[in-house]
C-alpha cells in the first residue's frame, strides 16, 4: 500500500499492468465464449426451437414420439442454460471493464505523479506550472493517436526551453501509457472519472482536461485498483465456459439428437 514514505513507482506501474492484463484477457475470453454460445444456439435453432418444436421435416417423420419428447426436454433445458450463461457472463464483463478502468487510472496517476515529483528540470517545471495561478492541465484524447498531453499555457509556448520540456514530459507519459489502448482509456474516463455519456453509453466529448491539482491521490487509485482486481479475479473463475453447466446441457441435447438420428437411419435402412 502506498504511504507517505518513498513511493515505489515501478511496483505501482506493475500492479496496474497486472490488473489490466488479467481483466482484459478475461473480458476477451468472455466475449469469445458468448460468441461460441451464439453460434451453438443458431445451429440448434435450425433443428429445434426453444419451446421444443422440431423444425426438420424428416426428423418429424422418422423420430419416435419418445425420441421427440426427449429432444424437446433437452432443448428446453439447453436454451435455458444458454440464456442463463449469457446473462451471467454479461454481468461479469462489467467487473472486468471496471478493473480495466481502475488499472488504467492507476497507471496514469502513477506516471503523472512520478513526472511531477522527479528531481529534474522537467519535474521542477511541472511543479511550477501546477502551483501557478491557473494550474497545469493534463489532456486526454481517447480518439487520437497521442492520447495524453500536458497542455502548454501561453508562457510555455513563448519559451522554447519550457515548451520543449513540456513536450518531453508528454512523450514520456505517452510511452508509459502505451500498453493501455483506446478502449481502456475510454473505460477509465467513463467508469473512473465519471465523464458524461450519451444514451448509448458513449462519451459526449472528445477532449477531456484535468487540472493536476485536482487529480485523485495515489493512495485512492491504488485502493480502487486493488479492489477491482479482486472482483475481476473472483468473476474469472465463474466464467470458464468448460466448467459451466451450459456445456453439460449442450452435450445432453447433442447426444439426444445423435441417438435419434442414428436410430432413424437404421429405421430408414430397414424400411
Q: Spell out the residues 6+ positions from residue 54 whose beta carbon is closer than 8 angstroms to its own.
A: 47, 48, 60, 63, 68, 71, 72
**Contact yes or no for 17/179 (Cβ under 8 A):** yes
Q: Which residues of the chain have pLDDT under 50?
A: 1-4, 242
**Structure-block grid coordinates of residue 173:** 507519459
Q: What is the pLDDT of residues 66-116, one digit of tens each?
A: 999 999 999 999 999 999 889 888 999 999 999 999 999 999 999 999 999
Strand bridging mode 137-140 / 148-150? antiparallel
Q: State residue 98's pLDDT score.
A: 97
What was the pLDDT predicted at 170? 98
Number of helices (H), then strands (E), in the chain: 9, 3
DSSP 165-206: HHHHHHHHHHHHTTTS-HHHHHHIIIIIS---B-TTS-BS-S
Q: What is the pTM of this model?
A: 0.86
Q: Look up residue 225 and give its three cell numbers.
A: 485498483
Cβ atoms of 13 and 177 closer than 8 Å: no
| Eight-state DSSP code of residue 32 | H
Amino acid at each position: 500500500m502506498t504511504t507517505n514514505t518513498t513511493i515505489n513507482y515501478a511496483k505501482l506501474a506493475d500492479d496496474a499492468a497486472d490488473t489490466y492484463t488479467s481483466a482484459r484477457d478475461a473480458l476477451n475470453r468472455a466475449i469469445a465464449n458468448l460468441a461460441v454460445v451464439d453460434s451453438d444456439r443458431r445451429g440448434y435453432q435450425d433443428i429445434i426451437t426453444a419451446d421444443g418444436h422440431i423444425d426438420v421435416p424428416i426428423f418429424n417423420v422418422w423420430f419416435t414420439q419418445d425420441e421427440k419428447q426427449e429432444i424437446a426436454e433437452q432443448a428446453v433445458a439447453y436454451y435455458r442454460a444458454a440464456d442463463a450463461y449469457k446473462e451471467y457472463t454479461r454481468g461479469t464483463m462489467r467487473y472486468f471493464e471496471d478493473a480495466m478502468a481502475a488499472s488504467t487510472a492507476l497507471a496514469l496517476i502513477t506516471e503523472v505523479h512520478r513526472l511531477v515529483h522527479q528531481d529534474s528540470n522537467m519535474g521542477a517545471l511541472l511543479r511550477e506550472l501546477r502551483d501557478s495561478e491557473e494550474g497545469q492541465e493534463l489532456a486526454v484524447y481517447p480518439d487520437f493517436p497521442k492520447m495524453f498531453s500536458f497542455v502548454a499555457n501561453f508562457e510555455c509556448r513563448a519559451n522554447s526551453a519550457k515548451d520543449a520540456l513540456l513536450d518531453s514530459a508528454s512523450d514520456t507519459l505517452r510511452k508509459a501509457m502505451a500498453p493501455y489502448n483506446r478502449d481502456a482509456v475510454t473505460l477509465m474516463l467513463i467508469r473512473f472519472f465519471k465523464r458524461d455519456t450519451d444514451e448509448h453509453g458513449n462519451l459526449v466529448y472528445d477532449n477531456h482536461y484535468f487540472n493536476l491539482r485536482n487529480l485523485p491521490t495515489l493512495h485512492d487509485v491504488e485502493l480502487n485498483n486493488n479492489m477491482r482486481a479482486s472482483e475481476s479475479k473472483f468473476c474469472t473463475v465463474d466464467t470458464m465456459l468448460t466448467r459451466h453447466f451450459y456445456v453439460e446441457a449442450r452435450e445432453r441435447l447433442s447426444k439426444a439428437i445423435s441417438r435419434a438420428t442414428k436410430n432413424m437411419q437404421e429405421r430408414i435402412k430397414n424400411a
